[in-house]
Amino acid sequence: MISMNTSVDWARLRTDFPILNQQVHGKPLVYFDNAATSQKPRSVIDALTHYYERDNANVHRGIHELSNRSTTAFEAARTRAARFINARSADEIIFTRGTTEGINLVAAAWGAQNLKPGDVILLTELEHHSNLVPWQMIARRTGAKVAYIPVTGDEGTLDLTRLDALLTSQVKILSLVHISNSMGTVNPVQEICARARSRGIVTLVDGAQSAGHLPVDVQAIGCDFFAFSGHKICGPTGIGVLWGRQEILDAMPPYQGGGEMILSVGYQKTEYKPSPHRFEAGTPDISGPIGLHAAMDYLDAIGREKIWQHDQQLANYAYEQLGALKNIRMFGPKVNRAGLVSFLLKDVHAHDVVTLADQGGVALRGGHHCTQPLMHKLGVESTARASFYFYNTPAEVDVFITVIKEIQKFFAA
Ligand code: C6P
């Protein structure tokens, strides 16, 4: 078995997650579905309870004590989110429901203003549906077209030899995933964004699988937008962050209309607030940012470079052992993979793998992982996926491998 970085007490951190201490179908829970959603530490659960027990009130509206407290906590979370990704200012942080809404916001608001017939929206063949469908929708509305940077095959890496040819003068935006949720590919977003930017192309990075797993610096990446979800980084569901470069946000029309995004309203005309408030119509999720604040503090107290090392070590350990089995097809890069493994057992449907693994207490995900076009390109309907986080252990990987071997035996019998 591998030994993990001992400068962090991983076993103690695991005890911060009450949910992990339980049995499923009579077996100790092995939670390997972290790419779908992460578990929540006690400090996040406590922050939510504290907010609802002591401070709950609407934000930005009241002058009373509770409203002041809740507004202060809400805006403190915005400042914390800016620090989490090294944004220049909290005004560049828009709270959303998650990555999906962040990308929809950019596609709808930026896209409607900036795209016209003949323009090209450049994506990659690795994208999650959240970074495909909103662009297809705005393409249909504006007459723009969608083009793709190709992937090379089962390794799920991008063919960047094609990039210069694809970055034509028609391309207005390049939107790409940082870490692929179905392959574990880590895209060189800094290099790709620099190449797009030198041609005046706006860039968006989907950070759903990266923000909570490795240090993120949006200024170093050099993108124009970066979106992530709170629930994948130990925070609550229903909250996410869209970061946008200030100059671009200032020039963008609102996404939705309603209360709190206005300076003044007449019966015929409305004047909007500046960013970020013009993009946050209506009563926002208030407890979400407060829980997310606690999650960001929690992760940064560990250190995301250490989390990244831990995730990668577990994934490499799992990949090597799975790869040594017979009758298995492995997906994703062999080197520099993020903290997940994606695979198919010969003649066994991915859903059967997940169902039987569940009987062994191991929570996996099986399906197209919301990357249906990629699955079709690779000639499969689905894969089984184990995705790791810092509270997972090498011993759990051993349980997982044993369960997979048993499944193979079961189907061979
Ligand atoms: N991937 C998975 O199991 P939301 O649902 O908005 O929080 O995140 C959407 C999303 C966008 N981009 C990437 C790369 C993602 O992985 C996800 C969510 C989950 O892989 C659910 S399909």
DSSP reduced 3-state for 191? helix
Distance (angstroms) between ligand 1 centre and the Cα of 299 equals 19
Nearest CA owner, ligand 1 atom 8: 99
pLDDT of residue 328: 98
Nearest Cα residue to 207 out of 182, 183, 234, 189: 189
- Structural domains of the chain in order of their starting residue, each with its CATH number: 10-31+303-412 (3.90.1150.10), 45-301 (3.40.640.10)
pLDDT of residue 344: 98
Pairing outcome for strands 93-96 and 270-272: unpaired
Distance (angstroms) between ligand 1 centre and the Cα of 32 equals 15
- Tell me how far apart the alpha carbons of residues 351 and 63 are, in angstroms, rounded to a whole number: 53
pLDDT of residue 18: 97
List, for residues 391-412, the tens digit of each pLDDT value: 999 999 999 999 999 999 999 9
* Ligand 1 site-directed mutation target among 31, 97, 99, 342, most atoms within 8 Å of CB: 99
Distance (angstroms) between ligand 1 centre and the Cα of 68 equals 34
Average of per-residue pLDDT across 368-394: 98
Nearest CA owner, ligand 1 atom 2: 36
For residue 102, which atom of ligand 1 is closest to its CA? 6
Nearest Cα residue to 73 out of 47, 46, 101: 47
Confidence of residue 61 (pLDDT cuts 50, 70, 90): confident
Respond yes or no on whether the N-terminal peptide bond of residue 276 is cis (omega within 30° of 0). Answer: yes
- Tell me how far apart the alpha carbons of residues 226 and 216 are, in angstroms, rounded to a whole number: 10
Sign of CA dihedral 16, 19, 23, 27: negative
Nearest CA owner, ligand 1 atom 16: 181
Distance (angstroms) between ligand 1 centre and the Cα of 57 equals 30
Full DSSP string of 305-362: HHHHHHHHHHHHHHHHHHHTSSSEEEES-SSSB-SEEEEEETT--HHHHHHHHHHTTE
Does residue 217 register a pLDDT over 80? Answer: yes
- Tell me how far apart the alpha carbons of residues 284 and 291 are, in angstroms, rounded to a whole number: 14
Catalytic residue among 193, 223, 234, 370: 370
Is-contact 177 166, C-beta < 8 A? no
DSSP reduced 3-state for 385? strand
370 counts as catalytic: yes
pLDDT of residue 1: 73
pLDDT of residue 4: 81
354: left (phi over 0), alpha (psi -120 to 50) or beta: alpha
For the record, the structure tokens of 370 come out as 């919301």
Pocket of ligand 1 (CB under 6 A): 35-36, 98-100, 128, 130, 177, 181, 206, 208-209, 229, 365, 369-370
Pairing outcome for strands 383-387 and 340-345: antiparallel
Average of per-residue pLDDT across 186-211: 98
Nearest CA owner, ligand 1 atom 19: 36
Is-contact 95 240, C-beta < 8 A? yes
For residue 231, which atom of ligand 1 is closest to its CA? 7
Average of per-residue pLDDT across 78-106: 98
For the record, the structure tokens of 152 come out as 């090379």
List, for residues 35-45, the tens digit of each pLDDT value: 999 999 999 99
Does residue 413 register a pLDDT over 90? Answer: no
- Tell me how far apart the alpha carbons of residues 40 and 17 are, in angstroms, rounded to a whole number: 6
**What is the identity of the amino acid at 118?**
G
Percent of the residues in the chain that have a pLDDT greater than 90, as a whole number: 97
Length of the chain: 413
Q: What is the Cα gyration radius of the chain?
A: 22
Nearest CA owner, ligand 1 atom 17: 208
Largest CA distance in the chain: 74
- Tell me how far apart the alpha carbons of residues 157 and 151 are, in angstroms, rounded to a whole number: 5
Average of per-residue pLDDT across 168-193: 98
Distance (angstroms) between ligand 1 centre and the Cα of 267 equals 40
Distance (angstroms) between ligand 1 centre and the Cα of 131 equals 10
Average of per-residue pLDDT across 207-214: 98
Strand order in the sheet with 202-206: 93-96, 240-244, 225-229, 202-206, 171-177, 120-124, 145-149
List, for residues 312-359, the tens digit of each pLDDT value: 999 999 999 999 999 999 999 999 999 999 999 999 999 999 999 999
Confidence of residue 3 (pLDDT cuts 50, 70, 90): confident
pLDDT of residue 345: 98
**What is the identity of the amino acid at 271?**
E
- Tell me how far apart the alpha carbons of residues 196 and 182 are, in angstroms, rounded to a whole number: 25
For residue 232, which atom of ligand 1 is closest to its CA? 7
Is-contact 293 74, C-beta < 8 A? no
pLDDT of residue 173: 98
Nearest Cα residue to 131 out of 204, 233, 240, 188: 204
- Tell me how far apart the alpha carbons of residues 34 and 393 are, in angstroms, rounded to a whole number: 13
List, for residues 260-302, the tens digit of each pLDDT value: 999 999 999 999 999 999 999 999 999 999 999 999 999 999 9
Nearest CA owner, ligand 1 atom 3: 36
For residue 178, which atom of ligand 1 is closest to its CA? 14
Q: Quickly tell me which residue has 């063919």 as its tokens.
A: 159
pLDDT of residue 316: 98
For residue 33, which atom of ligand 1 is closest to its CA? 3
pLDDT of residue 2: 80
Residues 6+ apart with CB under 8 A from 362: 27, 30, 32, 386, 399, 400, 403
pLDDT of residue 39: 98
Q: Residue 185 has what DSSP assignment?
A: B
pLDDT of residue 141: 98
